[in-house]
Chain A
Amino acid sequence: MNRQPTSAFWVLTLLGLAVLIPMASLLAVGRLPGFEPGDLQFWHSSYIRRVLFFSFWQAFLSTLISLGLALLVARSIAFRGNFPLRNLLLKLFGLPLVVPSIVAVMGVVSVYGAEGWIPLGRSLYGLNGILIAHVFFNLPLAVRLLLPVWQSLPDHYWQLAEQLRFTPWQRWVHIEWPAIRENLPGVSLLVFMLCLTSFAVVLTLGGGPKSSTLEVAIYQSLRFDFDPTQAVILALLQLSLCLVVAVIGLSLQKLPEVEITISASNYAWHNKNRLFHNLVILLAAIFVGLPLLAMILDAIRGPVIEVISDNKLWQATAYTLMIGLSAAFCSVLAGWFLLRSSSVFANRGQINKAKWIELAGSVVYVVPPLVLGTGYFVLLAPHVDVFDWVFPIVILINAMMGLPFVIKVLSPAMRKNQMRYQNLCCSLALQGWHKFRWIDWPLLRRPIGLAAALVSAMAMGDLGVIALFGSVDTTTLPLMLYQQLGAYRIPQAAVSAVFLLLMCLLVFWSLERGLGGKDYVKN
């Protein structure tokens, strides 16, 4: 028992190498062919200035709108207590974690595109479209993060408010706002970061240089302008931005705990303004549900046979599945060994050590995938044909992207197991394989299944690194969908989008159920 838990050391060393080596090759920008010292003075380039401004501006507006609406919606859901279809609504709001962003874009086009139900015409492409798509993703996420704040308010507060005859405004000022205020910086920063590093949405709905973000500009420099120097400078800019945002975030407060289960607390007895709350909930459900519904209807009426009889679709499906499952496997394995150490430290009371290990595992929060991808690109390009390396790189980066989620999902369960059963296992000489088989696996398979399901769905839907490294022979479903959208083959794209969505949900469901097991042991 006095052995130092070292497994995290090895994971963090590998992770550190996988991040630092490509970052070092970014910093060696001076050695790239065609580099001129003047290139570093990015503020002289009006293009980069514009991209920089737009990155910030769209992220700021997306965050503002998502959070403003999320406060309203979360409050209405909390106040309406247990209404019919509540669980279904919360499941719908959980979908954006699993829905690939390119599929969501397709849904937005189905509703607001030229042929859609609420046609916005050309003005969809640009800031409007980007904002709609970002709010589609982040409004539900923010609602799920903020809802527990209301649910954590003790019922006595409301009884007290009733007794003191608080007006709704007084209730908000004295009861709700103080609790919300603590959580707001964390949630805003998370949403801001997601919008700042968003790729697929801006790539497809952004309109040329006028509404391009750093993330997309990196991709265009590498794939279209063949200008690695510019790509590297943009990547370094993006990296510094993310670092600044992360440092501000850490100094303000911790990142919010991603609430995976939603408990249904009941406030039904202070049911005032029922009509208003119902309306808010209905509008939010329509806003989130409509794109999915429209897309599915488009797909049913679309050229289904043509699309699914195409060999390329099945080839892409095979690659997509391989990437998703491999990334999930690597990510869960790394997370497991990382948490084995951190939970031992936590159990010994060395909370800070445990925290730092888990924070280090979440390093990709600050190094966006395209920045990493650019690093690998300039690192490998002089020596090998990078397009031959597409799968290892895509799997590696996606596994790293998934690691923070694995840590979030697995950490509480592993710490609890360690705390409750470590001494008992020690005294029974339960260790190694026997301990895994009889104790760890049965007690942890549920969170392991959920973690694997999340990572694989996210990796399958990723259009970022694959866009950087993919080619005609190595196309995944999201990349194929992007190509169809780019060629304005919208009916085909709708079918592919629904196909990809179904694949993601199928894999998510089978991993969650298959690995997680059916019955759940309450302990």
Chain B
Amino acid sequence: MLKIEQLSFSYHQQQEPEMLFELTAVPGEILSIIGPSGCGKSTLLNLIAGFLPAQSGHISIDNEFVEKLSPAERPLTMVFQQHNLFPHLDLYTNVALGINPSLKLTSKQKDEVSDALKKLGLSGLEKRKPGQLSGGQRQRVALARALVRHHKVLLLDEPFAALGPALRQELIELLKSLVQQKSMIALLVSHQPDDALQASGRTAFIHQGRVSAIDETFKLLNNSKNKAIRNYLGSL
């Protein structure tokens, strides 16, 4: 289980923290995170990943507190919107870096890299450079690397934002099956309410640095009482 308790952060010094998060997600779940730009969606992921220092509060993964650990020590993997891959390294190497930064892999680990690439439909492309791939393929490689790392938590920061609707749907289905198979916990930041509807049973709506609502996705998107959600969706 991923548990965020009273996690606070401010870009500027002030008494009341600009952001204060409270959230839980369970294995096998993709929890979508939506909200207007600047609301703190990406900040939340960066805090969990350790790229930004939290002022106070706790992050626990399976009852282990991780907020004191460095980004590399936390049992999680983040997939960014772009620049997930090093352009000068081939696909195989890009994935292998996820296992060991020195690139000294045992034969078992090498098989694992090949398996992950196969699972994501990238067999035969091992020697390609990222520049020779489509945007969708590049994000598949990033997911393959996340797989070989065997981490419980997967943080996805608008990973499909640059892709067309059909590709997005396809990758979301792929993501869903991976998360269920490995019983991972995924947080998916997204700009598209449709993505949340397709990917997630539950969705959190973030507004002004707080989790303003968290509910079943369909209910949340049709919550006519929450003014911020109405304004964000521009509906009703």
Cβ contact of A430, chosen from B50, B80, B84, B97, cutoff 8 A: B97
Interface residues of B in 78-127 (CB under 8 A from A): 78, 80, 83-84, 86-89, 93, 97-98, 101-103
A268 vs B101: C-alpha distance when bound (angstroms): 50
Beta-carbon contact of A428 and B98 below 8 Å: yes
- Interface segment, one of A332-340, A418-426, A486-494: A418-426
> Given known contacts A420-B83, A421-B83, A421-B86, is B101 in contact with A428 (CB within 8 Å)?
yes
CB distance from B199 to the nearest CB of A (A): 22
Beta-carbon contact of B53 and A2 below 8 Å: yes
A426 vs B103: C-alpha distance when bound (angstroms): 16
Interface residues of A, dominant DSSP: helix
- Interface segment, one of A98-106, A355-363, A432-440: A432-440
A423 vs B46: C-alpha distance when bound (angstroms): 9
Beta-carbon contact of A521 and B87 below 8 Å: yes
Beta-carbon contact of A438 and B89 below 8 Å: yes
Interface presence of B28 (CB below 8 A): no
Q: Which residues of chain A are within 8 angstroms of B236 by Cβ–Cβ distance? A: none
A430 vs B96: C-alpha distance when bound (angstroms): 12
A421 vs B82: C-alpha distance when bound (angstroms): 10
Interface presence of B131 (CB below 8 A): yes
Q: Which residues of chain B are within 8 angstroms of A521 by Cβ–Cβ distance? A: 87-88, 129, 131
Beta-carbon contact of A426 and B51 below 8 Å: yes
Cβ contact of A423, chosen from B80, B87, B103, B129, cutoff 8 A: B80
CB distance from A520 to the nearest CB of B (A): 10
A427 vs B89: C-alpha distance when bound (angstroms): 17
Q: Which residues of chain A are within 8 angstroms of B46 by Cβ–Cβ distance? A: 423
CB distance from B49 to the nearest CB of A (A): 6
Residue from A424, A430, A438, A443 having most chain B Cβ neighbours under 10 A: A424
A430 vs B53: C-alpha distance when bound (angstroms): 20
Beta-carbon contact of B88 and A442 below 8 Å: yes
Interface presence of B71 (CB below 8 A): yes
Beta-carbon contact of A434 and B88 below 8 Å: no
> Given known contacts A2-B53, A421-B83, A424-B83, is B78 in contact with A438 (CB within 8 Å)?
no
Cβ contact of B72, chosen from A429, A442, A522, cutoff 8 A: A429
Q: Which residues of chain A are within 8 angstroms of B80 by Cβ–Cβ distance? A: 423-424
Beta-carbon contact of A434 and B72 below 8 Å: no
Beta-carbon contact of A427 and B101 below 8 Å: no
Interface presence of B183 (CB below 8 A): no
| Range, interface on chain B | 20 to 34
A 1-12 binary contact with B (CB < 8 Å = 1; else 0): 110000000000
Cβ contact of B87, chosen from A426, A427, A428, A522, cutoff 8 A: A522
Cβ contact of B101, chosen from A1, A429, A443, cutoff 8 A: A429
CB distance from B213 to the nearest CB of A (A): 29
Beta-carbon contact of B101 and A435 below 8 Å: yes
Residue from B71, B89, B93, B103 having most chain A Cβ neighbours under 10 A: B71
Beta-carbon contact of B88 and A1 below 8 Å: no
Please, which residue of chain B has its CB at the minimum distance from the CB of A433? Answer: B102
Interface presence of B224 (CB below 8 A): no
> Given known contacts A424-B84, A426-B71, is B78 in contact with A434 (CB within 8 Å)?
no
> Given known contacts A1-B51, A438-B103, is B83 in contact with A427 (CB within 8 Å)?
no
A246 vs B192: C-alpha distance when bound (angstroms): 52
Interface presence of B55 (CB below 8 A): no
CB distance from B43 to the nearest CB of A (A): 13
Q: Which residues of chain A are within 8 angstroms of B73 by Cβ–Cβ distance? A: 429
Interface presence of B77 (CB below 8 A): yes
Q: Which residues of chain A are within 8 angstroms of B51 by Cβ–Cβ distance? A: 1, 423, 426
A424 vs B82: C-alpha distance when bound (angstroms): 11
Beta-carbon contact of B97 and A427 below 8 Å: no
CB distance from A429 to the nearest CB of B (A): 3
Please, which residue of chain B has its CB at the minimum distance from the CB of A520? Answer: B88
A180 vs B93: C-alpha distance when bound (angstroms): 47
Interface residues of B in 188-226 (CB under 8 A from A): none
Interface residues of A in 411-467 (CB under 8 A from B): 420-421, 423-424, 426-431, 434-435, 438-439, 442-443
12 A–B contacts, CB within 8 A, in A order: A2-B53, A424-B84, A426-B50, A426-B70, A427-B49, A430-B97, A431-B72, A438-B89, A438-B103, A443-B87, A521-B87, A521-B131
Using CB atoms and an 8 Å cutoff, list the residues of chain A in contact with chain B.
Answer: 1-2, 420-421, 423-424, 426-431, 434-435, 438-439, 442-443, 521-523
Using CB atoms and an 8 Å cutoff, list the residues of chain B in contact with chain A.
Answer: 46, 49-51, 53, 70-73, 77-78, 80, 83-84, 86-89, 93, 97-98, 101-103, 129, 131
Known: A1-B70, A428-B97, A521-B129. 6 other contacts (CB 8 A): A430-B97, A434-B103, A438-B89, A438-B103, A443-B87, A522-B87
